[in-house]
Amino acid sequence: MRTTHLHTPKSIDTFKRQLLNWGQQFHESVWMDSNQVHQTYSSFDAVLAVDAVTCIKTDYSEAFSRLKEYQSITKDWIFGYLTYDLKNAVEDLKSENIDGLQFPELYFFQPKKLFLFKGDIVEMHYLNMVSDECEEDLKAICHCEEERRGNLLNDIKIKPRIQQENYLEKVNTMLEHIHRGDIYEANFCQEFYAENTRINPLETYQKLNDISKPPFASFIKLGDKYILSASPERYLKKTGNKIVSQPIKGTAKRSQNETEDNLLKEQLSIDEKERSENIMIVDLVRNDLSKTANKGTVKVEELCKVYTFPQVHQMISTVTSEIEASIHPVDLIESTFPMGSMTGAPKISAMKIIEELEETKRGVYSGAVGYFTPNNDFDFNVVIRSILYNEIKRYVSFSVGSAITAKSNPLKEYEECLIKAKAMREVLES
């Protein structure tokens, strides 16, 4: 593999946009951008991987064992996603709800060309088979014009899969489960969608990213399937023998009035319900990490810390552990999947009840997007605040959810979902 270090010839933001536009010519393209936010544990500012030399696509059956074999054989960078429905490979569960998107349940590829941003340096990694294309590509990137905007009619009509009245009934049913002691907490989600429609995926992603500026943004093109993510949440990261998980539970809206905005942030930090949600999931994550951790190494480095993003305030905790070098990276993911922030506690009971009450197969939503490195490290986000698009089926979808606990007010939970949906709905309908 050929590696080139490049000092970007112009502003980083301009070069990023040109690179992202250039990357759309390939059948496979993965772009990840930290937006230089919440970077304590970030390895890179941004990453672009394009053009598969090998790939794996599969349903949930033996998904983790097949991914483990693929990652072990390639011993290279691989990029892709894990859908929420891989839960069926981990536990005796099923997914039988509506699936308008029809994405493979697991998809990873080994790129021919890779760009890693850190500060004003870009590392260009090219497989030997395409190493002679590096200089020609760089010229093309620097002359790449942005796609013309507004080339599609904006007639998208977003519909809720669950009407408000029905949503309130379902949350009350979930509360009955909680009061009976079946579960303590569950993340209940709902889909918003549009059929027989077309979008410009790259333009839609850029609009979403511009108004959200999240730390785990990603634009994924895998043939005719697109993931446009403005995720604020890290699922799991491995660096050497250290594991980091950063679950989010607790959301408050922003205000344009600075005094009111600071008050909203302060209220979130002391809100008893929001803190209890977060702490329950922290306990679940601690339990998940303990399955593979060296004894006594699971630590909560941050508990219920409030971070501010352009659209919302979020309560985030950071849980870490240390592992033996002999543990396979895919085994680490399998032992914690799906992430606790998108399921509930106890996890298996929560997932069963979720399946009964939700009306849509989650698929990529509340799964994870990320990568493995050649030295067995990895980093994955949680796929939330994301627009999913099947270009062939002309189907656009985004889902939102909230944590239901004994103290939940169904109407307030519905309003929280609308707050989370605001940015995605805005970029699709405006």
Q: Could you give the residue numbers annotated as active site?
A: 233, 249
Q: What's the CA gap between 37 and 55, in Å, rounded?
A: 31
Q: What's the CA gap between 331 and 339, in Å, rounded?
A: 14
> Could you tell me which residues come within 8 angstroms of residue 5 by beta carbon, excluding any fewer than 6 positions away?
121, 122, 123, 124
One-letter amino acid identity for 261?
Answer: D
Residue 104, preceding peptide bond in cis (omega within 30° of 0): no
Q: What are phi and psi of 168, to 5 degrees?
A: -65, -40
Strand partners, 399: 191
Strand partners, 369: 81
Q: What are phi and psi of 178, to 5 degrees?
A: -65, -45
Angle, CA 301 vertex, CA 296 and CA 302 arms, to 5°: 145
> Could you tell me which residues come within 8 angstroms of residue 117 by beta carbon, excluding any fewer than 6 positions away?
12, 16, 44, 45, 46, 47
Helices 410-429 and 164-180 sit at what angle, rounded to 10 degrees? 140
Angle, CA 202 vertex, CA 17 and CA 43 arms, to 5°: 55
Q: Do 106 and 57 meet the contact criterion of CB atoms below 8 Å apart?
A: yes
- Nearest-CA neighbor of 220 among 421, 52, 42? 52
Q: Which residues of 368-384 are buried (b: 16+ CB within 10 A; e: fewer)?
A: bbbbbbeebebbbbbbb
Tokens of 144: 């790449």
- Nearest-CA neighbor of 396 among 221, 191, 217, 202? 191
Tokens of 90: 């981990």
